[in-house]
């Protein structure tokens, strides 16, 4: 059996003085898409921040392995360069920095950190145009400051565009469906599906089952009170939708 893309072992995470994650175990093999479902406040976003290495998310126990290598001692930018990507639930505005400029800075920072040469401008432009086309992103949007004044759909498309260009091994999508109408959801899902590949894995964090109609997962995990309480195939999402999260609370207790 090959090394899993992401392996989380007994992960405990504390934020300020509150323990949020209480022993998460998860294995995402290469090429698979897993979904994590759970109600608000169950610790789903904490899990994504802890994996990405955000300051203030203190790992008190356990380990996170990316492609077999522990990443818990790495800074957030080092994890990014190692191939980890987090699509934000609420993408952050960077005033005055054109989307194009940001993309180039991010790509070159990662290349530099991996000891690769900077990307030449024509090569970069070509890559951006191709990826933007797939997501129906207008050139005009690339010239605007990143996420500033973007609609909900534009913000999420900009996230997927970054994901496409940075070509990560492991993608975490945090509530990617929030703030999207059904048409935007389709475009974004298509963009994500387009990026599914044998050497790339994804962890889709969501509240609702509807996103999983568009991005069909290999496995579904139910999250409650800082732990995974049940795992199953894609049909588990439908079960959850029908019965509600409360049916799983007992399992957590």
Ranges within 59-78 binding other proteins (CB under 8 A): 75-77
Q: 3-class secondary structure for the chain?
A: CCCCCEEEEEEEEEECCEEEEEEEEEEECCCCEEEEECCCCCCHHHHHHHHHCCCCEEEEEEEEEECCEECCCCCHHHHHHCCEEEECCCCCCCCCCEHHHHHHHHHHHHHHHCCCCCCCHHHHHHHHHHHHHHCCCCHHHHHCECCCCCCHHHHHHHHHHHHHHHCCCEEEEECCCCCCCHHHHHHHHHHHHHCCECCEEEEEEECCCCHHHHCCCCEEEEEECCEEEEEECCHHHHHHHHHCCHHHHHHHC
Q: With CB under 8 A as the contact rule, which of the stretches 94-102, 133-141, 187-195, 198-206 interacts with other proteins?
A: 94-102
Q: Among 27, 74, 109, 125, which residue sits at the site for other proteins (rule: CB under 8 A)?
A: 109
> Which is closer to other proteins, CB of 155 or CB of 219?
155
150 binds other proteins (CB under 8 A): no
Instruction: Please choose, out of 3-11, 36-44, 47-55, 176-184, the segment that lies near other proteins by the rule CB under 8 A.
Output: 47-55
Between 166 and 216, name the residue whose CB sits nearer to other proteins.
166
Q: Which position among 44, 85, 137, 219 is part of the footprint of other proteins (CB under 8 A)?
A: 85
Q: Which of 24, 28, 52, 222 binds other proteins (CB under 8 A)?
A: 52
Q: Provide the minimum distance between the beta carbon of 21 and other proteins in the complex, in angstroms, as a whole number.
A: 17
* Binding of other proteins by 149 (CB under 8 A): no
> What residues line the site for other proteins (CB under 8 A)?
52-56, 75-77, 80-81, 85-86, 88, 91-97, 101-102, 105-107, 109-110, 113, 145, 162, 166
């Amino acid at each position: 059996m090959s090394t899993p893309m992401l392996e989380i072992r007994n992960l405990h995470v504390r934020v300020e003085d509150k323990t949020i994650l209480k022993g998460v175990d998860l294995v995402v093999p290469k090429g698979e898409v897993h979904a994590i479902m759970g109600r608000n406040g169950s610790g789903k976003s904490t899990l994504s921040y802890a994996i990405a290495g955000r300051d203030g998310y203190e790992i008190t126990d356990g380990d996170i392995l990316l492609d077999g290598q522990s990443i818990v001692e790495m800074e957030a930018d080092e994890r990014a360069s190692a191939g980890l990507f987090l699509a934000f639930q609420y993408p952050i505005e960077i005033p005055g920095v054109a989307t194009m400029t940001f993309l180039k800075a991010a790509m070159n920072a990662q290349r530099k950190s991996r000891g690769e040469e900077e990307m030449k401008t024509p090569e970069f432009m070509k890559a951006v145009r191709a990826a933007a086309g797939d997501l129906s992103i207008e050139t005009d949007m690339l010239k605007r400051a990143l996420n500033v004044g973007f609609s909900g759909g534009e913000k999420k498309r900009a996230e997927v565009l970054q994901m496409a260009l940075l070509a990560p091994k492991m993608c975490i999508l945090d509530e990617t469906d929030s703030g999207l109408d059904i048409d935007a959801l389709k475009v974004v899902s298509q963009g994500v599906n387009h990026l599914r590949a044998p050497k790339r894995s994804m962890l889709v964090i969501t509240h609702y089952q509807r996103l999983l109609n568009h991005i069909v997962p290999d496995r579904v995990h139910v999250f409650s009170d800082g732990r995974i309480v049940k795992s199953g195939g894609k049909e588990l999402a439908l079960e959850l939708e029908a019965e509600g999260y409360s049916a799983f609370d007992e399992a957590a207790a």
